[in-house]
Amino acid sequence: MAYQAPDAFVLVDPLVPDELWTPLEERVTAHGRPVRVLTTIGFHRRSRDEVVRRFAATTSRAKASLPEGVETVTIRRAGETMVWLPGPRALIPGDRLLGDDGGGVRMCPPGWLRYLDPGLTYTELREALRPLLDLPVEMVLVSHGEPVLRDGRAAIGRALS
């Protein structure tokens, strides 16, 4: 996911196929701001190192160094930090919310929690995601499946019910 913040060109969990490097370079150059790479979950480092190399990008998720108009939402004990863009009201999850291929979102399969230490139950994950309902989410730009482009908060609510 790419976002042109006022002070940075932001890439979240970049996965850049070979044929998209040139168009990406053109967009980065046109924006004319430093490149920032944010990673929601360790498994999503994918093209991160190559983006850092090509664009001299930085990777810190520290709140004090986030680009203007970009916030993070830590999902406690779930090994994930989602990205929240208040301007477009877009939430960018990593692996804890997935597209459900029906226009909404669903929670990840329970098996995706096995590696977490200490173990997080599915019920605990549901509760950890509940604070997302406090955000005025319009879009949920998932890493897996189809994005939700409107009524994202309602989609999250259905996934958590």
Q: Quote the CA–CA distance of 108 and 67 in Å, as a whole number.
A: 28
Q: Where are the domains of the chain?
A: 1-68, 70-161
- The sign of the torsion formed by the CA atoms of 9, 135, 150, 140 equals positive
- Check whether 118 has a pLDDT greater than 80: no
Q: Quote the CA–CA distance of 9 and 30 in Å, as a whole number.
A: 10
- What pLDDT, on a 0 to 100 scale, did the predictor assign at position 114? 86
pLDDT tens column, 2-39 = 999 999 999 999 999 999 999 999 999 999 999 999 99
Q: Quote the CA–CA distance of 152 and 86 in Å, as a whole number.
A: 13
pLDDT tens column, 138-148 = 999 999 999 99
Q: What is the mean pLDDT of the chain?
A: 95
Task: Report residue 44 as tokens.
Answer: 């999503």
pLDDT tens column, 83-93 = 999 999 999 99
User: pTM score > 0.85 for this model?
Assistant: yes
CATH class of the domain defined by 70-161: alpha beta
